[in-house]
Amino acid sequence: MADSEVLHAAHHIEYPYSRSLGPVLSAFMTGLRDGRLLGVTASGGRIVCPPSEYDPDTGDDVGELVEVGPGGVVESWAWVSTPLRKHPLDRPFAWALIRLDGADTALLHAVDAGSPGAVATGDRVVPRFRPAGERVGSLADIEAFVPEGGAV
């Protein structure tokens, strides 16, 4: 059978999931809507952010939620010169693992740094929250992080 005889069809699927959060992630998302970031106390007093319902290493129960950040340190970064259609920003940006002040693990988010020369491991960044009325309780309530003291 020649190539032209094998058919093609555009196939579009959607999964309109709505996920229930449970106490830990509910608190985290509620915090985001309120414009603050929360971590959770895990084994050995370690603060895990983003928080999980259990210690990511041991599986033990976690303790109290504590406020972290809002600023933090870039632990690693990757420069996206051509954003993809679902990326959080439509201009060049950096993905970064950000260890928020007071936390012992890192959060993944976008850094709106303008150019690859404006971001480096060890740099301090702060979140740029969306206006309060637009926030719904999601990591997308933070539009992006920006370099501390030199917001783009």
Partner 1 sequence: MTAATADERGPVTTLATPIALDFDFTPGVAQSRFLRGLEQGKFMGQRCSVCGKVYVPSRGTCPTDGVPTTEDVELSNSGTVTTFCVVNVPFAGQSIEIPYIAAQVLLDGANLSFMGLIQELPATEVRMGLRVEAVWVPEDELAPSLASVRYFRPNGEPDADYETYKEYL
Partner 2 sequence: MSAARAVRPVSVASFAQAQNVRRDDQRNEVEGLLPVIAEAFGAIGITKDDVDFICSGSTDYLVGGPFSFVMALDAVGVWPPRSESHVEMDGAWALYEAWVLLQEGKVDAALVYSFGRSSLGDLNEILTLQLDPYTMAPLWPDIVSLNALQARALIDAGKATEADFAAVASRSRRDALANPKAQVAGDIPVETLLEDEYVVAPLRRHALPPITDGAAAIVLAAGDKATRWSERPAWITGFDHRIETHALGARDLTASPSTAKAGEVAGVAAGPVDLAEIHAPFAHQELIVREALGLDGTVTVNPSGGALAANPIMSAGLIRIGEAASRIAAGQADRAVAHATSGPCLQQNLVCVLEGA
Site string for partner 1, 4-43 (x = CB under 8 A): -xxxxxxxxxxxxxxxxx-xxxxx-xxxxxx---------
Which one of partner 1, partner 2, none interacts with residue 121, CB within 5 to 8 A by kind? partner 2
Handedness of CA 88, 82, 78, 92 (dihedral sign): negative
Cα dihedral 80, 82, 85, 89 in deg (nearest 10): 50
Nearest to partner 1 of 30, 115 (CB atom):
30
> Across the strands, what pairs with 93?
80
**β-pair type (72-80, 93-100):** antiparallel
Site string for partner 1, 102-141 (x = CB under 8 A): ----------------------------------xxx---
Cis peptide leading into residue 92 (ω within 30°): no
Q: Which two tokens stand for residue 50?
A: 């983003």
Site for partner 2 in 80-119 (CB under 8 A): 80-81, 84, 86-88, 95-99, 105-110, 116
Separation between Cα atoms, residue 57 and residue 44, nearest integer Å: 11
Which one of partner 1, partner 2, none interacts with residue 81, CB within 5 to 8 A by kind? partner 2
- 62, 77, 125, 126: residue in contact with partner 2 (rule CB under 8 A): 77
Is 144 exposed, middle or buried (CB count within 10 Å of its CB: 0-12, 13-18, 19+)? buried
Element (H, E) at 24: helix 22-34
Q: Which region, judged by CB under 8 A, interacts with partner 2, from 1-9, 33-41, 61-69, 125-133?
A: 1-9
Contacts with partner 2, residue ranges (CB under 8 A): 1, 3, 6, 11, 13, 17, 19, 21, 25, 28-29, 48, 50, 52, 56-57, 75-81, 84, 86-88, 95-99, 105-110, 116, 121, 138-140
